[in-house]
């Protein structure tokens, strides 16, 4: 009897097991098919949402970029018939002294747009981090970030006034007894490029400082407190805690400011227009001059392509060096 019951139970279990096994593949297939359909629908819905932005990117970025590369192989004045020039326009970029100097000037400006602001921004952020939140830190942040909301053309005009013979810079030098150093800063071949670079420092410092302060705010305050309990000073805190924690922000700041230096146009065009002579000429202003003043579309396009390649190379190196250990 017990064996019969056991057999019945075993049969029911087997039947139930078989029922489950027979139903399971169907439900699994149905579930997988349903999930597959949902996944495919989601995929196509995502593509549809991306299409307008992708169309705008192709129309306003990729198409002009392709046209620029195409024009760089032609001699064209923008109106008449374009004639094939091969690589002659690229040869001009690397052989004409004024075109080479414009590229060199843009790399010199990296010192003012990137290295000095990042260095000063790290110091400013570290000092502000050590102070308690209050009116002083808020006002300081606002003052440092103020240049970011000023249009670049407006900044160029403002600094042109400040660099004028009777401007604020010379007035300040006279006030502190350094009247012998006064001069026309933007009109001197030796001081024009550093003077323009100072404008770059003024523009980039606030961005770097606020970015670094944002990065410092993510560090657990207990880490700083523990370091201070262990007797660490401000310098030790900076190198042991702050600097390693800001690695990502430093990479972002360097990338953004290097691109701003290599592609600078507004400030230099408004303040010096590349002068005196070619003392402050940069590729952006040179491309404008070749295109709209000299009607050398091919040479301007070749310089633009070379500048784009240089920017991509420099940014790639920065990203590789900055995130190499991630």
Read off the pLDDT of residues 197-249 as tens digits, 9 standing for 90 and up. Answer: 999 999 999 899 989 988 888 888 888 888 888 888 888 888 888 888 888 89
Burial of 126 (0-12, 13-18, 19+ CB in 10 A): buried
- Quick: pLDDT tens for 283-301: 999 999 999 998 899 999 9
Strands (E), the chain: 74-75, 83-84
pTM of the model: 0.78
Instruction: Give the three-state DSSP class for 83.
Output: strand
For residues 262 and 258, give the distance between their C-alpha atoms in angstroms, rounded to a whole number: 6
pLDDT tier at 282 (50, 70, 90 boundaries)?
very high
User: How large is the average pLDDT for residues 173-182?
Assistant: 88
- What is the per-residue pLDDT for 324? 63
Cis peptide bond N-terminal to 276, omega within 30:
yes
Residue 307 confidence class, pLDDT cut points 50, 70, 90 = very high
| Nearby residues of 244 by Cβ (< 8 Å), 6 or more positions away | none
First to last CA, the chain: 70
Are the C-beta atoms of 105 and 321 separated by less than 8 Å? no
pLDDT of residue 3 exceeding 80? no
Specify the pLDDT at position 284: 92
How distant is the alpha carbon of residue 102 from its chain centre?
21
Q: Let me know: does 204 contact 257? Beta carbons within 8 Å.
A: yes
Q: Does pLDDT of 19 surpass 70? A: no
Q: Residue 220 has what pLDDT?
A: 86
269 pLDDT band, cuts 50/70/90, is: very high
Beta bridge partners of 74: 84
């Amino acid at each position: 009897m017990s064996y019969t019951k056991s057999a019945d139970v075993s049969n029911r279990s087997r039947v139930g097991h078989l029922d489950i096994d027979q139903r399971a593949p169907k439900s699994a297939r149905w579930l997988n098919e349903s999930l597959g359909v949902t996944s495919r629908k989601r995929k196509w819905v995502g593509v549809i949402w991306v299409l307008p932005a992708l169309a705008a990117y192709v129309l306003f970025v990729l198409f002009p970029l392709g046209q620029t590369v195409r024009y760089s192989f032609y001699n064209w004045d923008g109106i008449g018939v374009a004639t094939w020039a091969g690589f002659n326009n690229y040869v001009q970029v690397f052989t004409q002294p004024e075109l080479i100097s414009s590229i060199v000037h843009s790399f010199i400006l990296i010192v003012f747009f990137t290295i000095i602001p990042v260095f000063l921004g790290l110091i400013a952020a570290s000092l502000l981090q050590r102070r308690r939140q209050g009116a002083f830190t808020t006002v300081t942040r606002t003052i440092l970030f103020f240049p970011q909301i000023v249009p670049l053309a407006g900044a160029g005009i403002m600094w042109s006034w400040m660099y004028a013979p009777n401007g604020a810079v010379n007035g300040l030098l006279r006030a502190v007894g350094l009247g012998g150093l006064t001069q026309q800063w933007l009109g001197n071949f030796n001081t024009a490029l550093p003077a323009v670079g100072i404008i770059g420092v003024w523009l980039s410092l606030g961005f770097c400082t606020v970015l670094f302060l944002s990065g410092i705010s993510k560090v657990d305050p207990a880490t700083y407190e523990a370091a201070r309990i262990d007797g660490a000073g401000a310098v030790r805190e900076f190198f042991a805690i702050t600097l390693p924690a800001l690695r990502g922000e430093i990479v972002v700041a360097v990338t953004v400011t290097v691109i701003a230096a290599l592609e600078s146009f507004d400030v230099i065009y408004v303040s010096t227009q590349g002068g005196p002579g070619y003392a402050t000429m940069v590729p952006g202003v040179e491309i404008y001059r070749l295109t709209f003043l000299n009607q050398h579309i091919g040479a301007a396009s070749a310089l633009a392509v070379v500048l784009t390649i240089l920017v991509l190379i420099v940014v790639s190196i920065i990203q590789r060096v900055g995130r190499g250990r991630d």
